[in-house]
């Protein structure tokens, strides 16, 4: 297409008067080569401006040094940046170990997700990190012959390693803190129950209320879409039930909720106490700054990358579950 013929290891070998094996071994340091010969090879490589063809290398060595990360990352301009932060963590480890990260967006949609997975033919990737769009999907059939690690959430029939946040414990602590402030009517606003994170948070909420001797009031509980608009709208609806506090399990929904409260001049925390999820910078510029559960998103990525690299390099598989703790950052909204 470009007309330029590629310089191969063969050309280098010819130029340096050595064999292709020698060139390869010089490049990879895989066997002893005398300094003299090394020099010749390096010289030839420079002269010809040789660049190794990593595709050919992958084909032969059956290793691509590419890891795919499949999550609802890029859905839209208004989407949650949580997984971006996670991706940053993954990336930081991979880069250090000489791997590349391929990002893939599932849009939190099973069809899209399945199509993406089937696009990762065997040999193309060395491993897959996935935040499953739903618990109800038989992923095992789809995966190729590479290690898979679930991140943030797991499907029902989890047969793989997983790296998760201890959502339940964190939520329990948060709700307890709200209770300690004397609140009884605590609203719960979250995304749908189709992912395990939401379920765990809901369990944390309900179990804490119940063990405090309170009844669950369904009208104070809302499972909406994960979006700013949904947060805004549902905040309005929930307010009519006269809660004195609200717990929002999603960052973007919390933004929407906060926008509603600001637009309607609701005083926080006097009229309504608010606790959100994820400690992104914006939570420091609301009025007042938001109390949140801080998920170690970057660390989640780091841990996951370490787990999958371990599996890749060991050649083992398993279904270890790792849980990372989330902390509460107390600011003025509670």
Partner DNA sequence: TTTATTGGAGTAAACGATTACTTACAGTAT
Partner DNA sequence: ATACTGTAAGTAATCGTTTACTCCAATAAA
Chain positions contacting DNA, by CB under 7 A: 5-10, 17-25, 27-28, 30-34, 36-37, 50-53, 56-57, 59-62, 123
Q: Which is nearer to a copy of itself, 6 or 39 (CB)?
A: 6
Chain centroid to Cα 217, Å, comes to 33
- Decide if residue 171 touches a copy of itself (CB under 8 A): no
- Decide if residue 121 touches a copy of itself (CB under 8 A): yes
Tell me which residues in 269-308 interact with a copy of itself (CB under 8 A): 280-282, 284-287, 289, 297-298
- Range list of H helices, the chain: 9-16, 20-28, 35-48, 54-61, 82-96, 110-119, 167-180, 196-211, 228-239, 251-263, 297-314
Which residue from 20, 92, 109, 169 is in contact with a copy of itself, where contact means CB under 8 A? 92
Which residue from 74, 179, 214, 221 is in contact with a copy of itself, where contact means CB under 8 A? 74
Alpha carbon distance 63, 66 (integer Å): 8
Decide if 178 contacts 273 (C-beta within 8 A).
yes
CA nearest to 23, candidates 5, 6, 44, 4: 44
How many residues line the site for a copy of itself (CB under 8 A)?
60
- Torsions phi, psi of 298, nearest 5? -60, -45
- Decide if residue 24 touches a copy of itself (CB under 8 A): no
CA nearest to 217, candidates 242, 180, 193: 242
Residue 10: is it exposed, middle or buried by C-beta count within 10 angstroms (0-12/13-18/19+)? Answer: exposed
Q: Which is nearer to DNA, 44 or 164 (CB)?
A: 44
Alpha carbon distance 12, 19 (integer Å): 9
**Smallest separation, CB 187 to a copy of itself (Å):** 18
**Smallest separation, CB 9 to DNA (Å):** 3
Residues in Cβ contact with 108 at an 8 Å cutoff, skipping those fewer than 6 apart: 72, 75, 133, 226
Q: Which does 19 bind (CB under 5 to 8 A by kind): a copy of itself, DNA, none?
A: DNA
Which residue from 10, 31, 51, 319 is in contact with a copy of itself, where contact means CB under 8 A? 51
Q: Which does 39 bind (CB under 5 to 8 A by kind): a copy of itself, DNA, none?
A: none
- Decide if residue 27 touches a copy of itself (CB under 8 A): no
* CA atoms 175, 176, 179, 184: torsion sign: positive
- The binding site for a copy of itself (CB under 8 A) comprises 1-2, 4, 6, 51-56, 58-59, 62, 64, 66, 73-79, 81, 84-85, 87-88, 91-92, 95, 100-105, 119, 121-124, 144-145, 228, 252, 255, 258-259, 262, 280-282, 284-287, 289, 297-298, 315
């Amino acid at each position: 297409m470009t007309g330029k013929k590629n310089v191969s290891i063969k050309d280098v070998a010819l130029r340096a008067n050595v064999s292709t094996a020698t060139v390869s071994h010089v490049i990879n340091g895989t066997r002893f080569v005398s300094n003299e010969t090394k020099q010749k090879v390096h010289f030839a490589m420079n002269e010809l401006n040789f660049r190794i063809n990593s595709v050919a290398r992958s084909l032969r060595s059956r290793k691509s040094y590419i890891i795919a990360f499949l999550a609802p990352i890029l859905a839209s301009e208004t989407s949650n940046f949580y997984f971006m932060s996670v991706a940053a963590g993954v990336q930081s480890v991979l880069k250090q170990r000489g791997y590349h990260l391929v990002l893939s967006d599932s849009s939190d949609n099973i069809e899209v997700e399945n199509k993406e997975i089937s696009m990762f033919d065997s040999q193309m990737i060395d491993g897959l990190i996935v935040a499953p769009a739903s618990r109800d999907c038989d992923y095992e059939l789809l995966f190729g012959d590479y290690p898979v690690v679930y991140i943030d959430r797991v499907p029902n029939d989890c047969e793989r390693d997983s790296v998760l946040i201890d959502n339940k414990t964190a939520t329990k602590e948060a709700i307890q803190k709200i209770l300690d402030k004397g609140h009884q009517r605590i609203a719960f606003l979250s995304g749908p129950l189709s992912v395990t994170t939401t379920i765990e948070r809901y369990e944390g909420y309900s179990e804490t209320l119940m063990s405090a001797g309170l009844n669950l009031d369904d009208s104070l509980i809302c499972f909406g879409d994960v979006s700013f608009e949904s947060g805004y709208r549902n905040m309005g609806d929930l307010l009519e039930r006269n809660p004195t506090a609200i717990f929002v399990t999603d960052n973007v929904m919390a933004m929407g909720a906060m926008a509603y409260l600001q637009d309607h001049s609701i005083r926080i925390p006097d009229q309504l106490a608010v606790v959100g999820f994820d400690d992104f910078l914006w939570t420091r510029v609301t009025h007042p700054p938001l109390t949140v559960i801080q998920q170690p998103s970057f660390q989640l990525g780091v841990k996951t990358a370490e787990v999958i690299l371990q599996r890749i390099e060991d050649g083992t598989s398993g279904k270890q579950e790792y849980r990372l703790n989330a902390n509460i950052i107390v600011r003025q909204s509670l």
